[in-house]
Chain A
């Protein structure tokens, strides 16, 4: 049975782009063939889950979608009548329940049962669903449309790993065709992104992955000493591997979205040129960090201010940074290194903020040289955090 994992090898692109030709021609002539888009999307989603170990995941996806659709549909109709905070909290909790169960399963607890609920892309689908629930509560989404909701959550190009779009933004494109000028611009960008993605994912990420595996082996030889200089290499090779692999993938997803006439948001913006940690999170996995900024950080700050939890605004935002990043860490998985990674970035943002305040009050020299130094420092802080994140230290210290 033909099985196609998204963007995994050159043949995937050939199949995908051939299948999208009729849609593209339609869009060029100002028509959006929604039914065709739906059929192609379902076909390609089917081909991800159609054989071997993937079938189980496909079933999990269907169950998941039934659950989430029912939740969102019910909550939208409830929201028209009332707006009780607890109902909102419970609905949100129920919508993250599946991924919570999978994450708990990953730790080994009820592993066999709970991991059955998992499938490729579950966390990204959860972001889209939870975001929709929150915006419904805000009142910015008023109506529930089953076809639009399904098309949004199951949007084929971004199904497995984002970028994470927002329901309202998605819907702006979903029913109309872009203007011809706009669409030609999309196509031009799409070709550029596809080829840049090939360079990133199939050449650079491939190379760094080998380097990553080499440095791990070299470091492992020193494992009994608890320290190896090779760990520096592990961190850097993993950091670059992760970036080129994920940014490459994201470019493919955005490009495919463009071909389908959707303005999918970008996920990376030259993150290694960041001047500080805050800047970094505006450039790295952007749709995820903005999702957390809008739906966790801002709301936490707002709630804490409203209830006057802390007197100082600085304390409030510091606590929010740490909670925000910790949740992000937990979202990656319930292991010490993801949580430490989250904590590290939370504390990092607090320090970063303190430094920016200090800089405002005092005369700190600022020139090209200090900027380069800032970029260098940020890069190293990030690479160190990715060394934690990659999980190699777990193997190096505890499981060698």
Chain B
């Protein structure tokens, strides 16, 4: 064999591999196909690749058959029972079906990035946003950021920026605090430009378009598989116990019976399985463990502000649900009720003063029986109560909204504003 032939044998396959990769990224046909069943499955799969990517979001919110509405939230979304929003919407053939965006650890900053990939789905549309005051710890809970971040979100965010706003600059600064962003040569440089209020050059933009092309192809390729059976196992199964016709009084008695049985092992009225697995091993240690918790001062208020700014830009008609904690449990751990309510006051002021008036404030109801499924997650009668807000809101038509964004909520003044010492209305 001649040397030339040997070299061809060595490098030929390499060239072929590059050619194939090039074709895969550049050819104009889509690389994914999600059937209506797969989308339905995705709506309750809580998979992180949904938050990371564009493909599933596009498939869900562009589809004509089912009106999927994004439900932004965190771990409470995964607490299934017969009153879970996805179950009720499916059972009673509502005009909408929730599409769950979130799981344990997804707070505002993650949602903000995720929203960058679904702006058309928010534009003059409706959404539900469930706020957990637990997010509002001093430094925020975005230790999970890296688990839900993707370069595609960042590229979309950069490409979405028309004129750099204070929100963009605030987010740029926050992103640079995340090692996944700051360690990337390309992105760290571009995000730093935004932080400094410096517009991206046209070369930057074309580079980002190319990145977008590659990353979105990759996203498509890996979003064909939905590794979840939640629709069958959680939604359909829970639908079976429900009466054929919707009547909130009847449902209340149905779910009360279910909850009574499912939480009979403990005085906190926590779901038995959760109590056994998560509480029993450390019950003694947890007593009084949350006395010092403080949700009044947190950078999370500004992350939430970024989300609000996004909703305002897209004229999204949003219902906010503010979640309570299980009072029987929080009295045991020593979490201050007063502190909790003051943090809720601060959240509500931030919402209402900017025109976000659609609020289901359930925060004071964590003491009601069977309102909570476990320590901090609503369930059973709590979900049913939430449905009294969600159903009328989503079953009515979209109404254009007029929010007045106040960038002062991005400031450390607001993050550190102590709602126990000052009246929130004094902040401006």
Q: How far does the Cβ of A194 sit from chain B's closest Cβ, in whole Å?
A: 9
Among the listed stretches A125-133, A165-173, A180-188, A340-348, which one makes contact with chain B, having 4 or more residues with CB under 8 Å of it? A180-188
CB of B14 within 8 Å of the partner chain: yes
A224 touches B10 (CB 8 A): no
CB of A225 within 8 Å of the partner chain: yes
A221 touches B277 (CB 8 A): yes
Residues from chain A with a CB closer than 8 A to the CB of B277 are 221
Residues of B within 8 A of A (CB): 3, 6-7, 9-11, 13-14, 17, 185, 277-278, 281-282, 285
Residues from chain A with a CB closer than 8 A to the CB of B6 are 184, 188
Complex CA–CA separation, A2 to B184 (angstroms)? 10
Residues from chain B with a CB closer than 8 A to the CB of A180 are 3
Residues from chain A with a CB closer than 8 A to the CB of B185 are 2-3
A191 touches B281 (CB 8 A): no
Q: How far does the Cβ of B240 sit from chain A's closest Cβ, in whole Å?
A: 30
Number of A positions contacting B (CB below 8 A): 12
Complex CA–CA separation, A187 to B14 (angstroms)? 12
CB of A143 within 8 Å of the partner chain: no
Subset of 14 A-B contacts with CB under 8 Å? A2-B185, A3-B185, A180-B3, A184-B10, A187-B10, A187-B11, A188-B6, A188-B9, A188-B10, A191-B10, A191-B11, A221-B277, A222-B281, A224-B285
Number of A-B contacts (CB under 8 A): 25
Complex CA–CA separation, A196 to B302 (angstroms)? 46
B281 touches A225 (CB 8 A): yes
Q: Which residues in window 209-230 of A have CB below 8 A to B?
A: 221-222, 224-225
B11 touches A224 (CB 8 A): no
Q: How far does the Cβ of A310 sit from chain B's closest Cβ, in whole Å?
A: 50
Q: Which residue of A lies closest to B283 (CB)?
A: A224
Residues from chain A with a CB closer than 8 A to the CB of B9 are 188
Q: How far does the Cβ of A255 sit from chain B's closest Cβ, in whole Å?
A: 12
Q: Which residue of B lies closest to A2 (CB)?
A: B185
Residues from chain A with a CB closer than 8 A to the CB of B11 are 187, 191
Q: How far does the Cβ of A212 sit from chain B's closest Cβ, in whole Å?
A: 14
Complex CA–CA separation, A191 to B12 (angstroms)? 11
Report whether over half of chain B's contact residues are helix, strand or loop; otherwise say mixed.
helix
Complex CA–CA separation, A1 to B10 (angstroms)? 35
Complex CA–CA separation, A221 to B14 (angstroms)? 46
B7 contact from A184, A224, A225, Cβ within 8 A: A184
Q: How far does the Cβ of B150 sit from chain A's closest Cβ, in whole Å?
A: 14
Residues from chain A with a CB closer than 8 A to the CB of B13 are 191
Report whether over half of chain A's contact residues are helix, strand or loop; otherwise say mixed.
helix
Q: Which residue of A lies closest to B14 (CB)?
A: A191
**A-B contacts besides A191-B11, A191-B14, A224-B282, 10 pairs, CB < 8 Å:** A2-B185, A180-B3, A187-B10, A191-B10, A195-B17, A221-B277, A221-B278, A222-B281, A224-B281, A224-B285
Q: Which residue of B lies closest to A181 (CB)?
A: B3
Q: How far does the Cβ of B96 sit from chain A's closest Cβ, in whole Å?
A: 33
Complex CA–CA separation, A180 to B282 (angstroms)? 68
Complex CA–CA separation, A2 to B10 (angstroms)? 31
Q: Which residues in window 149-182 of A have CB below 8 A to B?
A: 180
Complex CA–CA separation, A263 to B421 (angstroms)? 72
Residues from chain B with a CB closer than 8 A to the CB of A3 are 185
Q: How far does the Cβ of B298 sit from chain A's closest Cβ, in whole Å?
A: 24
Q: Which 3 A-B pairs have the closest CB atoms?
A: A188-B10, A224-B281, A224-B282
Q: How far does the Cβ of A190 sit from chain B's closest Cβ, in whole Å?
A: 9
Complex CA–CA separation, A160 to B13 (angstroms)? 30
Residues from chain B with a CB closer than 8 A to the CB of A222 are 281
Q: How far does the Cβ of A394 sit from chain B's closest Cβ, in whole Å?
A: 20
Residues from chain B with a CB closer than 8 A to the CB of A191 are 10-11, 13-14
Q: Which residue of A lies closest to B147 (CB)?
A: A213
Q: How far does the Cβ of B282 sit from chain A's closest Cβ, in whole Å?
A: 5
A187 touches B7 (CB 8 A): yes
Q: Which residue of B lies closest to A4 (CB)?
A: B185
Residues from chain B with a CB closer than 8 A to the CB of A224 are 281-282, 285
Complex CA–CA separation, A225 to B282 (angstroms)? 9
Residues from chain A with a CB closer than 8 A to the CB of B7 are 184, 187
Complex CA–CA separation, A250 to B192 (angstroms)? 35
Q: Which residue of B lies closest to A9 (CB)?
A: B184
Q: How far does the Cβ of A185 sit from chain B's closest Cβ, in whole Å?
A: 9
Complex CA–CA separation, A191 to B11 (angstroms)? 8
Q: Which residue of A lies closest to B184 (CB)?
A: A9
Residues from chain B with a CB closer than 8 A to the CB of A188 are 6, 9-10
Residues from chain A with a CB closer than 8 A to the CB of B285 are 224
Q: Which residue of B lies closest to A191 (CB)?
A: B10
Q: How far does the Cβ of A195 sit from chain B's closest Cβ, in whole Å?
A: 8
Complex CA–CA separation, A258 to B110 (angstroms)? 44
Q: How far does the Cβ of A129 sit from chain B's closest Cβ, in whole Å?
A: 30
Residues from chain B with a CB closer than 8 A to the CB of A225 are 281
Q: How far does the Cβ of B285 sit from chain A's closest Cβ, in whole Å?
A: 7
Complex CA–CA separation, A303 to B403 (angstroms)? 83
Q: How far does the Cβ of A160 sit from chain B's closest Cβ, in whole Å?
A: 16
Residues from chain A with a CB closer than 8 A to the CB of B14 are 191
Complex CA–CA separation, A2 to B188 (angstroms)? 11
Q: How far does the Cβ of A323 sit from chain B's closest Cβ, in whole Å?
A: 39
Residues from chain B with a CB closer than 8 A to the CB of A221 are 277-278
Complex CA–CA separation, A394 to B13 (angstroms)? 46
Complex CA–CA separation, A225 to B277 (angstroms)? 11
Complex CA–CA separation, A154 to B17 (angstroms)? 33
Residues from chain A with a CB closer than 8 A to the CB of B281 are 222, 224-225
Q: How far does the Cβ of A256 sit from chain B's closest Cβ, in whole Å?
A: 15
Complex CA–CA separation, A187 to B6 (angstroms)? 10
Residues from chain B with a CB closer than 8 A to the CB of A184 are 3, 6-7, 10
Q: How far does the Cβ of B8 sit from chain A's closest Cβ, in whole Å?
A: 11
Q: How far does the Cβ of B338 sit from chain A's closest Cβ, in whole Å?
A: 30
Q: Which residue of A lies closest to B189 (CB)?
A: A1
Complex CA–CA separation, A193 to B347 (angstroms)? 56
Residues from chain B with a CB closer than 8 A to the CB of A195 are 17
Residues from chain B with a CB closer than 8 A to the CB of A187 are 7, 10-11
Complex CA–CA separation, A243 to B9 (angstroms)? 30
Complex CA–CA separation, A399 to B86 (angstroms)? 39
Type the 1/0 row for A262-296, where 1 means its CB is closer than 8 Å to any CB of B: 00000000000000000000000000000000000
Q: Which residue of A lies closest to B7 (CB)?
A: A184
Complex CA–CA separation, A224 to B286 (angstroms)? 12
Q: How far does the Cβ of B317 sit from chain A's closest Cβ, in whole Å?
A: 37
Type the 1/0 row for A224-251, where 1 means its CB is closer than 8 Å to any CB of B: 1100000000000000000000000000
Q: How far does the Cβ of A141 sit from chain B's closest Cβ, in whole Å?
A: 36
Complex CA–CA separation, A225 to B283 (angstroms)? 12
Q: How far does the Cβ of A225 sit from chain B's closest Cβ, in whole Å?
A: 6
Q: Which residue of B lies closest to A213 (CB)?
A: B147
Q: Which residue of B lies closest to A8 (CB)?
A: B183
Complex CA–CA separation, A187 to B8 (angstroms)? 11
Complex CA–CA separation, A2 to B11 (angstroms)? 29
Q: Which residue of B lies closest to A51 (CB)?
A: B185
Q: How far does the Cβ of B197 sit from chain A's closest Cβ, in whole Å?
A: 21
Q: How far does the Cβ of A279 sit from chain B's closest Cβ, in whole Å?
A: 33
Complex CA–CA separation, A222 to B185 (angstroms)? 39
Q: How far does the Cβ of A180 sit from chain B's closest Cβ, in whole Å?
A: 7
Q: How far does the Cβ of A261 sit from chain B's closest Cβ, in whole Å?
A: 15
Complex CA–CA separation, A195 to B16 (angstroms)? 13
Complex CA–CA separation, A3 to B282 (angstroms)? 46
